[in-house]
Each structure stands twice: as structure tokens, then as C-alpha cells.
Amino acid sequence: MRRRLLFLLPVALFAIVALYLVVGLSPERDPTLVPSVMIDKPAPDFVLPGLFDDGQGLSTDDLQGQVSLVNFFASWCVPCRAEHPILLRLAREEGVPLYGIAYKDQPDDSRAWLAELGDPFQRIGVDLSGRTAIDFGVYGVPETYVIDRAGRIRYRHVGPLTPAVIEETVLPLIAELRS
């Protein structure tokens, strides 16, 4: 009998995977709504070395006193490439302070990547070990957080930013937090 159960295992595993695939197809799926236990909590404490040789690192203290965005990125991440023009536009046209955290990415690669695509960030911290990302509760890159004046996380977006998310959610939220 136990032997029989063993032979049922493949079909059971397949059923579970198929269920996930069905959920993946669901048209109501909205990747932008991610509940996070971190919402309205202060951003985790971190001190990261900087990406460039100017001695500027990134730490929790940098996030105080202004409304800012923290973006986790990596040069190996294909969706990051897709959202990059949006980050550049945010920094240049909307004047939103952007802080980057290079997630598990070799500094040389990050630098080359930013040299190629443009650098929208005011400061960039290097999170080689991924420790800070764990503290933030990052699922994977890219992820973006909106931080308010008091340094609390107010919004989290998983996956590449899209123009719709920026116009409908991120920019109104920033305006509200600033006023």
C-alpha cells in the first residue's frame, strides 16, 4: 500500500503545480497590491557601503526628513532593465529623491549598468549579502518602497514599476505625504 502511495506522489505534485498555474492565469491578478507587514513601520536599520568611490554610503538616517523612494535593483535583473526609464523620469521630471540598493550585485557590474542606462539615484548602497533586503522583506528584484518624512515605509511595489502604477498610486501618495 505504501508503495502505491509513492506512485501517487507525482500526480499529487503535478496537481499542486497546476493549481498555481491556474492562479497565475487569473485575470484579476494585480501584481501591484502587496500586503507587507512592514507597511507603516519604520524602515529597518541598515548601513551600507556606497557604490562609488565618493565615500557616500546609504543608511537609515539618509531616509529621514523627506519623502523618498528606495529601489532594490541588480544588473542581472531583466525586469529592472524594463523599469529603469521610469526611474530616470521620476528623478529628472518629478524631482523625487531616489535611493538605490544594489541587491547581490558585483559593484563593477552595477556601475557598468548605471553607466549604460543612466543613474537616477542620489545615493546607492551595496547590499552584497542581501541582508538589508531580508530586513525589508524583499521577495526579489526589482522592488520599490515609498518612505515618508519620519522614515516609515508607506508603500511597497513588487516587480517592475509601470507608468500606470506611477501615475495612479506612487505620485499621488508622494504628493499626499508631502503636503
CB environment 129-168: b (16+ within 10 A), e (fewer): eeebbeebbbeebbbbbbbbeebbbbbbbbbbbeeebbee
Q: Cell numbers of 2, please?
A: 505504501
**Cβ neighbours of residue 10 under 8 Å, at least 6 residues apart?**
none
Residue 164 interacts with another protein (CB under 8 A)?
no
Edge-first strand order for the sheet with 123-127 is: 123-127, 98-103, 68-73, 143-147, 153-158
For residue 149, the minimal CB distance to another protein (Å) is 27
Sketch the per residue contact string, 41 through 70, with another protein: x for CB under 8 A, - otherwise.
Answer: ------------------------------
Strand partners, 42: 152
Tell which one of 21, 37, 54, 55 touches another protein (CB under 8 A). 21
Residues within window 69-128 making contact with another protein, judged by CB under 8 A:
74, 76-80, 82, 104, 108, 112, 115-116
Residue 33 interacts with another protein (CB under 8 A)?
yes
| Residues in contact with another protein by the rule CB under 8 A | 3-4, 7-8, 10-11, 14-15, 17-18, 20-25, 27, 29-35, 74, 76-80, 82, 104, 108, 112, 115-116, 130, 139-143, 157-160
